[in-house]
Amino acid sequence: AGDAAAGKGKAAICAACHGADGQAVIPGYPNLKGQNELYLVNALKAYKNKERTGGNAMLMQPQAAMLSDTDIENLAAYFSQMQ
Amino acid sequence: AGDAAAGKGKAAICAACHGADGQAVIPGYPNLKGQNELYLVNALKAYKNKERTGGNAMLMQPQAAMLSDTDIENLAAYFSQMQ
């Protein structure tokens, strides 16, 4: 499982769109707070692998491409554990 | 915007995996409760259009294929308004 504290250190760029509290302020952007951890891992990997297109996927593909698999696990831990 | 009451009538099949209360009970499945409405519309349309692959997308593509655009709007209203 990921390291939530390490994830927090990588999450500043996420907060720009998904909210510092994990509640997105922009219509069309998902809330991440308390989301299922494995789902977040799978979603980020799907963006990284360009398996998600359509919608706003073109925004997320380059973000996810900058993340290592460890970064992805840590970010998923951070957002899934957010109260 | 969608009709949440109509969405509820279509949501029984969703509940099997995403929970009757919108909190998924299966690891790797996303919670839908309170999720951003437009995000849910875009995600369902992306599955319907086979723009989402990878992860569990193969499970969602056939589900979304059975939904009309109106169904999708109604379901998004229902889950986004869920407390």
Question: Domain A4-81's class?
Answer: mainly alpha
pLDDT confidence bin for B5, thresholds 50/70/90:
very high
Spell out the domain ranges in chain B. Answer: 4-81
Q: Is B81 on the interface with A (CB under 8 A)?
A: no
Give this complex's ipTM: 0.88
Q: Is B24 on the interface with A (CB under 8 A)?
A: yes
pLDDT in tens, B34-79: 999 999 999 999 999 999 998 889 999 999 999 999 999 999 999 9
**Optimal mutation site among A18, A31, A59, interface B, most CBs of chain B within 10 A:** A31
Handedness of CA A22, B22, A41, A5 (dihedral sign): positive
Contact assessment for residue B53 and residue A51, using Cβ atoms and an 8 Å cutoff: yes
pLDDT in tens, B26-35: 989 999 999 9
- State residue A52 phi and psi, 5-degree precision: -110, 120
Greatest CA span in chain B, whole angstroms?
32
Handedness of CA B68, B69, B74, B75 (dihedral sign): positive
